[in-house]
Structure 1
């Protein structure tokens, strides 16, 4: 199923500028429109004078114009719309994604994707902070891409962290992205085994084999992924590491995108991001996509 439109936040910062360019390229590859949001918190604006509030909105519209022009240069012919968000940044992006998304996925448009920069401006002009990406990734019902690092030449690979077969939606998103960008897909499963267990229990080898087998979700999913994406080069790897997050951050040095899942347990309240996803979002060297599921 094709992906849907792309919504990106801007605040005029360098991080937001990279996010806009990434989002423009992604929207063009999807043959879908791009919607750019610049948030102005009305709770703050209402405490300002009418003249100051008017100037704040003018600045927001100016930033949107600059972002739209940059997106057009990156992807000529791309359909672009803009919006001055009337809520805090994360809320504005989530609402824009909900209103931009198709009423139901179709043959030509699937779920919307939100794109944000990893850091925004500080001080009074803050529109996108690091916390905005984390909040959006934890609360969105659609994929969220946090554009980290500096713009680099393509590395030719999308890396997806796989925990078990429940990550099928995450792998599909990664596969579709790799297919559009004509790069390879790497399924990566990581597991941790305490070194000192062997000195404490005679069945350490049995435990090790059981843990490794359970962790090898990428191996078990390889055949089905190759069947879904027959024209895509797909590799898989099971890695024993002291830190799964550290391995994924290291993998981001050689990737165009790292894709992770965000599971929402039953009766879950609040952000759904686990420790690994949170750490990768904070330290990755390339854009990171968080795909909600489960």
Structure 2
């Protein structure tokens, strides 16, 4: 399905499974998303067999293979029961989970991960695989959060920092259109970053930027109800987390920054994938240039 107005094309949906309950929920959510898009669903199990060769016996590795294939079959059966007409494919990968998912999405599409994996640290709100995928992927990534079978709110929320988020907002608009939902644009000014500045006194242009983005989206999606709000706080993330209570999906530019051990998520982005009350979609914005986390 292609949006000819902005050239935005939503591809297939790729979801990772590992046997955990959050991954099961993510697979079912991903099947709903694939059905909405009328695109295939690809289910991936990253066994990391290649990384285990030196430390496990052949019998252990065969058990891993058998368990992985059984998990893939069971997940595929569950989503086919939910969406009988959905095209579903499965992939057993020998690589680690994060690498397996990135490779599966190399030709485009959207990656979906659960908010927690099989690790023993239950206090971690997002598993290490989910964070690695979110930080390094060059395709959209959705971290499935919120309650299972929760009633829809009829709203897609888009976090807007500046005009460079227009592509992110287009993704949000397409998601809202598919859900027959409204679109809410929200810009949050970090008051601590504006204290004492002349730009703060002059209104710093953010209201004008938000209005311009909203008008562009209304032109491209004339049948979509679009609202635009500005808020200010000492914590951008806390405002967005609270706003996510009233949304079915939060879409934001997933800024990644280079670090000593690879790319990492920006502070606000990191907080949202840990604490939002609905699924969070990160639209990749890879840049080595510094950029404010204020939304």
TM-score by structure 1 length?
Answer: 0.86
Deviation at residue 214 of structure 1 after TM alignment: 3.0
Whole-Å Cα distance in 2 between the matches of residues 56 and 239 of structure 1?
A: 50
Alpha carbons 1:118, 1:148 under 8 Å: kept? yes
Alpha carbons 1:219, 1:237 under 8 Å: kept? no
256-265 or 162-171, which deviates more: 256-265
Greater helix content: 1
Q: Counterpart of 2:119?
A: 122
Alpha carbons 1:161, 1:258 under 8 Å: kept? yes
Whole-Å Cα distance in 2 between the matches of residues 211 and 10 of structure 1?
A: 47
Structure 1 pair 195/119, CA: closer, same or farther in 2 (3 Å)? closer
Q: How does 1:32-47 map to 2 (within 5 A)?
A: 32-42=39-49, 43-47=51-55
**Aligned with 1:188: secondary structure?**
strand
Deviation at residue 209 of structure 1 after TM alignment: 3.5
Q: Counterpart of 1:25?
A: 32
| 1:58 aligned to which of 55, 66, 85 | 66
1:185-215 deviation per Cα after TM superposition (whole angstroms, max 9, x unaligned): 1100000224995xxx6xx7x5434355336
Deviation at residue 273 of structure 1 after TM alignment: 1.8
The gaps in structure 1 that reach 5 residues or longer are: 102-110, 124-128
1:131-182 deviation per Cα after TM superposition (whole angstroms, max 9, x unaligned): 2111111111100000012221111111010001101110111111111111
**Aligned with 1:87: secondary structure?**
coil
| 1:93 aligned to which of 93, 98, 101 | 101
Q: Counterpart of 1:185?
A: 183
Whole-Å Cα distance in 2 between the matches of residues 216 and 47 of structure 1?
A: 59
| 1:2 aligned to which of 9, 15, 36 | 9
Alpha carbons 1:164, 1:215 under 8 Å: kept? no
The gaps in structure 2 that reach 5 residues or longer are: 1-7, 121-125, 287-295
Whole-Å Cα distance in 2 between the matches of residues 242 and 177 of structure 1?
A: 29
Q: Counterpart of 1:73?
A: 81
Q: Counterpart of 1:136?
A: 133
Structure 1 pair 241/25, CA: closer, same or farther in 2 (3 Å)? same
Structure 1 pair 269/225, CA: closer, same or farther in 2 (3 Å)? farther
Whole-Å Cα distance in 2 between the matches of residues 163 and 196 of structure 1?
A: 14
**Aligned with 2:262: secondary structure?**
coil
Deviation at residue 226 of structure 1 after TM alignment: 0.4
Q: Counterpart of 2:110?
A: 113
Deviation at residue 222 of structure 1 after TM alignment: 0.9
Whole-Å Cα distance in 2 between the matches of residues 196 and 144 of structure 1?
A: 31
212-221 or 87-96, which deviates more: 212-221
Q: Counterpart of 1:256?
A: 248
TM-score by structure 2 length?
Answer: 0.86
Deviation at residue 265 of structure 1 after TM alignment: 6.8
Deviation at residue 242 of structure 1 after TM alignment: 1.7
187-196 or 175-184, which deviates more: 187-196
Alpha carbons 2:258, 2:264 under 8 Å: kept? no
1:150 aligns with 2:147: yes
Whole-Å Cα distance in 2 between the matches of residues 277 and 135 of structure 1?
A: 13
